[in-house]
Amino acid sequence: MTDLSGLFQPVRIGGLTLPNRIVFPAMGLSICADGVPGEQAAAYYARRASGGAGLVMTEGVYIDHPSSGDNPMLGRFHGDAALAAWGRVADAVHAAGGLAMPELWHVGLIYSGKDLMEGRPQYRPELGQVSPSGYIAPGVKVCEGMTAREIDTVIDAYARGAEQAVALGFDGVELHGGHGYLIDQFLWAQTNHRRDDFGGSPRARGRFVAEVVREIRRRLGPELPIVLRISQWKMVDYAARIADTPEELEQLLAPAVEAGVDMFDCSQRRFWEPAFAAGGPNLAGWVKRVTGVPSMTIGSVGLDADFMASLAEGRAAGCDLARLEELAGRLRQGEFDLVGVGRAMLAEPDWPSLVRAGQLQRLKPFTPDIMAELAALLPAREGA
């Protein structure tokens, strides 16, 4: 019988102790109206906490910057109405027995739309979008890079978002530094062509996010857990890599570690794949190895098809119990410390509780119609 008990051991992240290793990760579901989550959205997050997730991340929430994001159905982390609503989300998760963090987000040049999902992002100058060097995709420059003043302004917006999270009762913050959005645009050499202190070498490319972390630490102290999401793949390039070797990865992430990051959330499409062509650990494994910082693995956990197949292509993702055994073994060996369970917990909110009870036969596949069911959580429909 598969030994999955390691998933249910407590773990320390910064000043926070999580009761188990299972995280419900940030997933953009477009269930807000004008950036404000309604009561049903709060219940949705709380349901994943009552199902056994030790930590619940909100969807990416736009920080208070003019070009942080343009999708009115995704969360906004500024304005009285939105902040009050996110405070109710934190309260609901706590009441259900979980811990909660918002994922602070700035999209940079990449906005959320059909063109993006099809790998053809469009530049929208009317939004005043910013990026390190003006590249919306490799080799495609559409505007000038950020000035030093613009960089300082965005750093301040991230820090204010963290301050607001603490004031609302959240237990920490995650910074969205993956998938080709603003922080990742600094990390990725293909979109960062700067020649100042924020570009060039891997360490220099890692400076922007380090400055964000450092400013949050300055304002909120050493105990606040700060998580950084990173990825190899990008929305504009699924084969992309922010680092081609473990040595480059170490140099890239060192500034964030020195600034005080407590955990890396390492996004992969398939957790079982090695981070580099030569084989070896997955992305979370290599990140932990080169930084010494706890890491979380994520990517098709419990399922047999990655998110692009099940979401963009409309294919069902069946349960993959054999991979769960592999996951548990790698966790026991210390390759990574936490596990993000996304689509599997959309399909079955009680996923952690069922796994803990050994009732694996009750786990459900992820099917495309689940997204239609979640669309009913839109606040605009609550009174319908």
Check residue 238 and give its pLDDT: 83
Check residue 371 and give its pLDDT: 77
Check residue 17 and give its pLDDT: 96
Q: What are 114's two structure tokens? A: 């059909």
**Beta-carbon contacts of residue 116 (< 8 Å; ≥ 6 apart):** 110, 235, 236
**Beta-carbon contacts of residue 383 (< 8 Å; ≥ 6 apart):** none
Distance between CA atoms of residues 203 and 183, nearest Å: 14
Backbone angles phi, psi at 51, to 5 degrees: -75, -10
Check residue 313 and give its pLDDT: 62
Check residue 28 and give its pLDDT: 84
pLDDT tens over the chain, length 384 residues:
578 999 999 999 999 999 999 999 999 888 888 999 999 999 999 999 999 999 999 999 999 999 999 888 899 999 999 999 999 999 999 999 999 999 999 999 976 555 555 556 678 788 889 999 999 989 989 999 999 999 999 999 999 999 999 999 999 999 999 999 999 999 999 999 999 999 999 999 999 999 999 999 999 999 999 999 999 988 888 888 999 999 999 999 999 999 999 999 999 999 999 999 888 999 999 999 999 999 999 998 988 777 666 666 666 778 888 889 999 999 999 999 999 999 999 999 999 999 999 999 999 988 878 877 777 666 544 433
Check residue 312 and give its pLDDT: 62
CATH number at residue 340: 3.20.20.70
Check residue 305 and give its pLDDT: 72
Backbone angles phi, psi at 166, to 5 degrees: -65, -45
The domain total for the chain is: 1
Q: What are 190's two structure tokens? A: 């293909």
Which residues are designated catalytic? 181
| Ordered DSSP codes for 136-157 | EETTEE-SPPPPHHHHHHHHHH
**Residue 25 CA: distances (Å) to CA of 43, 267, 294, 338:** 16, 10, 16, 11
pTM of the model: 0.94
> Domain span at residue 41?
5-381
Check residue 308 and give its pLDDT: 65
DSSP-derived 3-state class of residue 326: helix
Check residue 128 and give its pLDDT: 86
Report the chain's terminal Cα–Cα distance, integer Å.
47
Name the nearest CA neighbour of 173 among 87, 267, 28, 57.
57
Check residue 382 and give its pLDDT: 43
Check residue 199 and give its pLDDT: 97
**Residue 70 CA: distances (Å) to CA of 52, 157, 181, 276, 286:** 33, 16, 13, 34, 34
Q: What are 75's two structure tokens? A: 């969360």
Check residue 384 and give its pLDDT: 34
Residue 345 and residue 351 in contact, taking contact as beta carbons nearer than 8 Å: yes
Residue 317 and residue 303 in contact, taking contact as beta carbons nearer than 8 Å: yes
Q: What is the largest CA-CA distance in the chain?
A: 58
